[in-house]
């Protein structure tokens, strides 16, 4: 039998998509930056089925591109153009396997959406704290494979800190069951960490044991305006001294980014009057009955009296808090409606965030004269999305837009690295930053990464062309 005939026999015709109209949504990334081709899109329903598909692909030398919710921003889940690969879409592998309240864990299939997992935890009076703008469609396997961050890293950490165990199908089709819900397991290499952040290049994550946390009982949310980003760092320090681990989110949005949201997203409006350069979205949470509202009002009020910030509003209801968060989560949608973003996902030491923004903007000079520079990110963990946004008509009029984007990216990333930072904080590498990785990783580090890749996937069939 041919490869496709064998594949059909393994998974059944209902799980195999071959017609162009059916496969198209899986061959283009969310931002429509990357487009590829594939022999077929396979939608398995079990781990055993995935293992059988992987063994068949290994036999025929066919590459595999694992894909979750297809919400990535670096092209990591999109097949290459002209590739002889299949896309392995994980959305039908979406069972809750176990909820262990006493152990504080949940075991899930990789195709569960983040929102689904959050809802199950909430119904059990627990919290799974990962929070992203795409949580309604992104899948936990993709979150693991990209080591997702989001808006609550300051308190709970990124995916590396939220995963206790994983299950994965290896490139030869074997199933590795590492679904251990243990906080302590000192028995050699922590193999799960190889797969977290590997972007599907070492194997296919099919299940995970996730940490659950006590459900917050009270929250307080504030929107603070200021003229100087350095003031945000000062205010973060004051809040840490007064509130400790109660600080869940500490987000920053530039005025330029806010204007883009208010322009394109109906129903959003500026929470404060007056002109300001930066806005902070702050959220405190506690599992105990505490008057966080008063605590937040006092700290922010004292900061304003000292000239740290210019104005503030404290959400008086859950609806008001959700309206503030809607502004923050509408950033990507607004920018897509405006035009083309040359986006960067950098991190630097928190103490150097303001220095980075000033240095990057100065270094860009005339390269950004026809664009708008936007900033949005997570001050609490040093992760900033530095965005150079071109209106659609301006981008279309440029002689060599891709070359310009490469120059802009090189400057922004070089600035971050010079300040002790990283070129990718939470979005991953994919194909977008694959070539740049060679400039920021040492030869020794790259050799180690390639050695791991070769040991697990010597034929380079797992998501080839991504990361390395």
Distance in angstroms (rounded) separating the CA atoms of residues 459 and 84: 14
Q: What is the dihedral of CA 449, 453, 455, 461, to 10 degrees?
A: -170
Measured distance CA(128)–CA(115) in Å, rounded: 10
pLDDT score at 182: 97
DSSP letter at 8 equals H
Domains of the chain: 3-89 (3.30.43.10), 96-214 (3.30.465.10), 218-329 (3.30.70.2190), 335-428 (3.30.70.2740)
d(CA 87, CA 33): 18
Report the sign of the C-alpha dihedral through residues 372, 373, 377, 380, in that order.
Answer: negative
Q: Which own/partner pairs from 7-14 qualify as long-range (CB within 8 Å, at least 24 positions apart)? A: 7/40, 7/42, 7/53, 7/56, 7/86, 10/49, 10/52, 10/53, 10/56, 11/42, 11/43, 11/44, 11/49, 11/53
Q: Which two tokens stand for residue 318?
A: 């859950």
Q: Which residues pair with 107 in a beta bridge?
A: 98, 209
Per residue of the chain (468 residues), what is the pLDDT tens digit?
A: 699 999 999 999 999 999 999 999 999 998 888 899 999 999 999 999 999 999 999 999 999 999 999 999 899 999 998 878 999 999 999 999 999 999 999 999 999 999 999 999 999 999 999 998 889 999 999 999 999 998 999 999 999 999 999 999 999 999 999 999 999 999 999 999 999 999 999 999 999 999 999 999 999 999 999 999 999 999 999 999 999 989 999 999 999 999 999 999 999 999 998 799 999 999 999 999 889 999 999 999 999 999 999 999 999 999 999 999 999 999 999 999 999 999 999 999 999 999 999 999 999 999 999 999 999 999 999 999 999 999 999 999 999 999 999 999 999 999 999 999 999 999 999 998 999 998 899 999 999 999 999 999 999 999 999 999
Picking from 177, 171, 167, the residue whose alpha carbon sits closest to that of residue 55 is: 171
pLDDT for 107 equals 98
- Helices 47-60 and 3-11: crossing angle in degrees, nearest 10, is 170
Identify the residue whose tokens are 């937040």: 296
**Residue 170: CB atoms within 10 Å:** 18
Helix and strand numbers (H, E) in the chain are 18, 18
Distance CA 362, CA 50 (A): 50
Coil, helix or strand at residue 319: helix
What pLDDT was estimated at residue 274? 79
323 CB-contact burial (10 Å; exposed 0-12 / middle 13-18 / buried 19+): middle
Which residue is associated with the tokens 């609490």? 380
């Amino acid at each position: 039998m041919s490869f496709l005939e064998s594949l059909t026999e393994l998974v059944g015709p209902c799980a195999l998509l071959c017609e162009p109209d059916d496969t198209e949504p899986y061959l283009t990334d969310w931002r429509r930056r990357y487009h590829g081709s594939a022999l077929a899109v396979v939608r398995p329903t079990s781990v055993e089925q995935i293992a059988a598909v992987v063994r068949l692909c290994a036999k025929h030398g066919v590459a595999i591109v694992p894909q979750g919710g297809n919400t990535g921003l670096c092209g990591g889940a999109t097949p290459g153009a002209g590739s002889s690969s299949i896309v392995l879409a994980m959305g039908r592998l979406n069972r809750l396997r176990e909820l262990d309240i006493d152990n504080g864990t949940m075991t899930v299939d990789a195709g569960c959406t983040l929102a689904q997992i959050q809802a199950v935890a909430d119904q059990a009076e627990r919290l799974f704290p990962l929070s992203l703008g795409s949580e309604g469609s992104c899948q936990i396997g993709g979150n693991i494979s990209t080591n997702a961050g989001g808006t609550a890293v300051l308190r709970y950490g990124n995916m590396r800190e939220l995963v206790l165990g994983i299950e994965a199908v290896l490139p030869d089709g074997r199933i590795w069951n590492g679904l251990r819900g243990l906080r302590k397991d000192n028995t050699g290499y922590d193999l799960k960490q190889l797969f977290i952040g590997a972007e599907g290049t070492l194997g296919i994550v099919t299940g995970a044991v996730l940490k659950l946390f006590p459900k917050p009982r009270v929250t307080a949310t504030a929107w603070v305006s200021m003229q100087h980003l350095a003031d945000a760092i000062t205010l973060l320090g004051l809040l840490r001294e007064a509130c400790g681990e109660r600080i869940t989110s500490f987000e920053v949005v530039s005025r330029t980014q806010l204007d883009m949201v208010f322009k394109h997203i109906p129903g959003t409006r500026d929470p404060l009057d007056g002109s300001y350069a930066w806005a902070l979205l702050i959220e405190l949470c506690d599992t105990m009955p505490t008057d966080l509202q008063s605590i937040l009002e006092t700290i922010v009020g004292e900061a304003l009296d000292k000239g740290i910030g210019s104005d503030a509003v404290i959400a008086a209801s859950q609806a008001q808090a959700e309206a503030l968060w809607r502004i923050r989560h509408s950033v990507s949608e607004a920018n897509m409606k405006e035009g083309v973003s040359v986006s960067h996902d950098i991190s630097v030491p928190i103490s150097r965030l303001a220095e980075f923004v000033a240095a990057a903007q100065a270094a860009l000079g005339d390269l950004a004269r026809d664009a708008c520079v936007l900033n949005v990110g997570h001050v609490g963990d040093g992760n900033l999305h530095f965005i150079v946004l071109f209106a659609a008509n301006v981008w279309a009029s440029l002689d060599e837009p891709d070359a310009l984007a490469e120059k802009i990216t090189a400057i922004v990333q070089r600035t971050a690295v010079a300040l002790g930072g990283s070129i990718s904080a939470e979005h991953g590498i994919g194909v977008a930053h694959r070539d740049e990785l060679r400039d920021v990783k040492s030869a020794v580090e790259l050799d180690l990464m390639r050695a791991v890749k070769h040991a697990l996937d010597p034929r380079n069939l797992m998501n080839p062309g991504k990361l390395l």
